Amino acid sequence: MTNHLEDAVLLDQLFGLNGRVVVVTGAYGQLGRRYCRALTAVGAKVAALDRPSVVSEQEAPEDTFGVGADVTDRAALVDALNAVRANLGAPTGLVNNAAIDAPPDASADENGPFESFPEKSFDRVMEVNVKGVMMCCQVFGGDMASNSGGSIVNIGSIYGSVSPDQSIYEYRRKAGEEFFKPVSYSVSKSAIYNLTRYLATYWSTSQVRVNTLTLAGVYNGQDPSFLDAYLQKCPIGRMATPDDYVGPLVYLLSDSSRYMTGADLVVDGGWTAW
């Protein structure tokens, strides 16, 4: 029989990230900062990557190496990789967290009907949410594949696996707004699932695991009318907090998920169970 000390060592080996170098994109945002803090707490050396303007204006997440790069700029990502290798070591983990969407207070054409959704808005979201993830995988994942392998976690969304329920936003239309959840975010997040599967098989012999972590909405002071409508579709009965997602993220990056690749781990409060 194992004793408690042996069990503790085993758990640390399974869930710890001691000495591993993990790159987190979109690291200066609400979720990104929480991810960075959690990863450093389990021993990882974290490269907090975000847009250069953000990195220059804000303090890096605590105990991380801040690096500025546009995820749609391959040359900038290569420079970021070189900086990470020089300061922390070769990356063994990548969290593709950076993403954009039309904010709730965007102009009417951004959040209007599908029939008139602007092409430029669609292209901008796809460039960051799909092309940006692909290019980060090319640069950082490619480096892992050329070395000792690693784990990539692509952050997905419930709106990539099921369509937005436009009735949630009916309260805005009743107030006189022409508001619909835009098409671009859903399409971009849906693309992530097959990018994950493609890379999981492509790098199957290079010891690089690639998985998707599908998330639901995070509470951030939303309108009470929105919350009332949203929570009717969420069996757990509340929106997520950033803390709800750090355990699954650590799991996917650690050896506890070592036999898992090409998969989608859904952490959504039961949203997609209906």
**Per-residue pLDDT, 8:** 55
Measure the CA–CA gap between 12 and 258, rounded to whole angstroms.
14
Can you read off the two tokens belonging to residue 166? 């436009």
* pLDDT band, residue 4 (cuts 50/70/90): low
Q: What is the CA radius of gyration of the chain?
A: 19
Number of domains in the chain: 1
- Tell me how far CA of residue 37 lies from CA of 46, 61, 117, in angstroms: 9, 7, 37
Question: Is position 171 within any domain?
Answer: no
Query: What sign for the dihedral angle of Cα 190, 195, 201, 207?
Result: negative
Say what the pLDDT of residue 12 is: 67
- Where do we find the tokens 């006189």? 176
Q: List the structure tokens of 72.
A: 């749609």
| For range 88-97, the mean pLDDT | 98
- Amino acid residing at 2: T
Which range marks the domain in which residue 124 is found?
A: 4-104+119-161+183-219+243-266
Q: Are 206 and 145 in contact (CB under 8 A)?
A: yes
The mean pLDDT value of the chain amounts to 94
Output the pTM of the full model. Answer: 0.94
Render pLDDT for 140-176 as a digit per residue (tens, 0 to 9): 999 999 998 999 999 999 999 999 999 999 999 999 9
The pairing of strands 208-215 and 150-157 is parallel
Instruction: With respect to residue 271, please indicate whether it lies within any of the assigned structural domains.
Output: no
Q: Does residue 170 belong to any structural domain of this protein?
A: no
Give domain status of residue 172, yes or no. Answer: no
Residue 22 belongs to a domain: yes
Q: What is the length of the chain?
A: 274
**Residue 221, phi-psi category: left (phi > 0), alpha (psi -120 to 50), beta (remainder):** left
DSSP 61: P
| Percentage, residues of the chain above pLDDT 90 | 89
Domain containing 129 — which CATH number? 3.40.50.720
12 belongs to a structural domain = yes
Res 86 pLDDT > 80: yes
**Residues 6 or more apart in contact with residue 41 via CB below 8 angstroms:** none
